[in-house]
């Protein structure tokens, strides 16, 4: 089974033509992993860009995420089929629970059973979770079985390094996918990161992406600018020293940027 690509394209906050242009440019540059979600309201745009690109479906790794309203056994598969219609594909490579069910209104076991059925039907190749705490992630692994939860997609950047969750994921055999890796651009102004960029003749974004890649995480940064999309790809060639990684580790200050009231779990 295809591994989760280490560097893909995120599409959060991109809609309409902006989403089409970003995905089209990324595909032309060589990106082959695309991350979207039902709540992003851009699955149709992503699907159109892919269809117009001429890139063969088997070359792509598509991820979408099930919104909280569709987590029940009755609603999940119909909602996923609608996502597939919008994406113009018969299957996605990875389907995630976008957020834990608020107040556990839908039992996690029921959602995972529906995801397992979606996989048996060929609607998705792999399943995973997003925004799960250590406890919820362990519950998911216990319910789904060893090796069944492909990833936990969480906010992770230099100012919120989420080490405890990352360590728990590794112990459970779950890949961490970092979202908001560049911290809405905030971390790019950090003097430590800027100094590392100057030393390596790289951009601050490349330094941050290289740091997260060296930690073993998968990444889905987004951009609407061709220059930034191309630059992000080049981060895979940048190697930071142990001292560089230690300097990056020291930047952690637990600064969470995504914490929606009524939706977020009690964070670790």
Burial classification of residue 231, based on how many CB atoms lie within 10 Å of its CB (0-12 exposed, 13-18 middle, 19 or more buried): middle
Look-up: residue for tokens 């989420």?
162
Dihedral angle computed from the Cα positions of residues 70, 71, 77 and 81, in that order, rounded to the nearest 10 degrees: 40
Q: Are strands 218-219 and 175-179 parallel, antiparallel or unpaired?
A: parallel
DSSP 101: P
The residues, ordered by sequence, that sit 6+ positions from 34 with a Cβ below 8 Å of its Cβ are 8, 9, 11, 23, 26, 46, 50, 60, 61, 62, 63
Dihedral angle computed from the Cα positions of residues 97, 102, 107 and 110, in that order, rounded to the nearest 10 degrees: -30
Burial 80-111 (b: 16+ CB within 10 A, else e): beebbebbebebbbbbbbbbbbeeeebebebb
Burial classification of residue 218, based on how many CB atoms lie within 10 Å of its CB (0-12 exposed, 13-18 middle, 19 or more buried): buried
| Nearest one of 163, 180, 123 to 245, comparing CA atoms | 163
Written as six digits, the tokens of 174 are 């779950």
Q: Which of 31, 40, 159, 179 is catalytic?
A: 40
* Length of the chain in terms of residues written: 268
Q: Catalytic site residue 40?
A: yes
Q: Looking at the annotation, which residues are catalytic?
A: 40
């Amino acid at each position: 089974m295809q591994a989760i690509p280490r560097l893909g394209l995120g599409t959060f906050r991109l809609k309409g033509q902006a989403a089409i242009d970003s995905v089209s440019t990324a595909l032309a540059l060589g990106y082959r992993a695309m991350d979207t979600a039902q709540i992003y309201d851009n699955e149709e745009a992503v699907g159109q860009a892919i269809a117009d690109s001429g890139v063969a479906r088997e070359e792509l790794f598509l991820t979408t995420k099930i919104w909280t309203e569709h987590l029940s056994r009755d609603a999940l598969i119909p909602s996923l089929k609608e996502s597939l219609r919008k994406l113009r594909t018969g299957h996605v490579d990875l389907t995630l629970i976008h957020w834990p069910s608020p107040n556990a209104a839908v039992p996690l076991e029921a959602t995972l059973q529906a995801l397992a059925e979606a996989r048996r039907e060929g609607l998705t190749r792999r399943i995973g979770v997003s925004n799960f705490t250590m406890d919820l992630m362990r519950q998911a692994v216990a319910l789904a079985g060893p090796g069944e939860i492909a990833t936990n997609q969480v906010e992770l950047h230099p100012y919120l390094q989420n080490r405890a969750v990352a360590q728990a994921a590794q112990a459970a055999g779950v890949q961490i996918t970092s979202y908001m890796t560049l911290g809405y651009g905030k971390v790019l102004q950090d003097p430590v990161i800027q100094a590392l960029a100057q030393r390596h003749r790289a951009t601050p974004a490349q330094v941050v992406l290289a740091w997260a890649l060296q930690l073993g995480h998968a990444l889905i940064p987004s951009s609407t600018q061709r220059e930034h999309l191309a630059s992000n790809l080049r981060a895979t060639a940048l190697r930071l020293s142990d001292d560089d990684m230690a300097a990056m580790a020291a930047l952690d200050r637990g600064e969470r940027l995504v914490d929606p009231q009524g939706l977020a779990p009690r964070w670790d």
